Amino acid sequence: MASDIKIGVVGAAGRMGRMLVRQVAESQGCALAGATERPGSEVLGADAGRLAGIGELGITIDDDAAAMIAGVDAVIDFTAPEATVAHAELAAQAGAAMVIGTTGLGDTHMAALHRAARHVPIIVAPNMSAGVTLLMALVEQVARTLDESFDIEIVEMHHRHKVDAPSGTALGLGRAAAAGRNVALDDVARMAREGQTGARPRGEIGFATLRGGDVVGDHTVVFAGEGERLELTHKASSRQVFAAGAVRAALWSRGRPPGLYSMNDVLGLEA
């Protein structure tokens, strides 16, 4: 019988980090083997399980990401783009798989992840939930089926503390819609509207961003045609769905060859 996969969590003191610690500790087939935070964090030295609200796990939070990553089979990262790239380089050197739920990744960050993925399996997704992964697949299919007489608008809402906009999930949905139309999102995206904007251009993919309260994440893709409107919606009421998806991805990574993967691969949605 295969031993449990050893998983490390970087950014273990954040909202998602604590949720990830709980999810790893409570999931079959895996074991929490390390947890880190940024240098100078006030939680350094604390037990990761106690901080996550599940009692002592015997895993102390430290700031040595290199040492932690060298001792695990897979690392889960929901931190920030620059930190994620640094962690990916460490994972490539250590031979550890990596699961990345960080949002706000730009072209230079993705290029660095592609380089790291030559050495280890890396799963990257703007949203790790199974429901959102299926939503993206549906959006691409609908966009492919409906022509440009149907306008596409993406509406997202998150809690007041979210720092990036539109959300990584909204951008992922936009890329899925653009792929269905066989166009580049950058060529058709409208991120905001204000003032005298004129008539809506045919083929445009619009975004609307809402922030407030403690909303975990709501996303709706609207296909608006003449006389009818199709809306596809996903609402997350708990970050646990993101943590569950990330742990599922970490388990899936075991034994995989190096490469850059998505949650579609994890869920078997791509051949």
Number of domains in the chain: 2
Q: Which tens digits make up the pLDDT trace of 195-254?
A: 999 999 999 999 999 999 999 999 999 999 999 999 999 999 998 999 999 999 999 999
Q: Are residues 35 and 110 in the same domain?
A: yes
Q: Are residues 204 and 249 in the same domain?
A: no
The contacts of residue 105 (CB under 8 Å, 6+ apart) are 81, 84, 113, 124, 168
Q: Are residues 230 and 140 in the same domain?
A: yes
Q: List % helix, strand, coil for the chain (3-state, nearest 5).
A: 35, 25, 40
Kindly tell me if the per-residue pLDDT of 28 is higher than 50.
yes
Q: Are residues 18 and 115 in the same domain?
A: yes
Domain extent at residue 97: 5-124+239-267
Q: Which tens digits make up the pLDDT trace of 145-171?
A: 999 999 999 999 999 999 889 998 999
Q: Are residues 72 and 138 in the same domain?
A: no
Q: Are residues 99 and 197 in the same domain?
A: no
Q: Are residues 189 and 214 in the same domain?
A: yes
Please, are residues 16 and 242 in contact by the beta-carbon 8 Å criterion? yes
Q: Are residues 30 and 160 in the same domain?
A: no
Q: How confident is the model at residue 43 (pLDDT cuts 50, 70, 90)?
A: very high
**% of the chain at pLDDT higher than 70:** 99
Q: Are residues 119 and 145 in the same domain?
A: no
Q: Which tens digits make up the pLDDT trace of 105-136?
A: 999 999 999 999 999 999 999 889 999 999 99
Q: Are residues 173 and 263 in the same domain?
A: no
- Kindly state the average pLDDT of the residues 41-69: 96
Q: Are residues 231 and 246 in the same domain?
A: no
Please give the pLDDT value at position 271.
46
Question: What does the CA dihedral 13, 19, 21, 25 come to, rounded to 10 degrees?
Answer: 160
Please, are residues 248 and 254 in contact by the beta-carbon 8 Å criterion? no
Give the domain CATH number at 171. 3.30.360.10
C-alpha 255/C-alpha 251 separation (Å) is 9
Kindly tell me if the per-residue pLDDT of 33 is higher than 90.
yes
| Type of residue at 109 | H
Residues with catalytic roles: 158, 162
Q: Are residues 143 and 231 in the same domain?
A: yes
What's the whole-number average pLDDT of the chain? 95
Give the domain CATH number at 57. 3.40.50.720
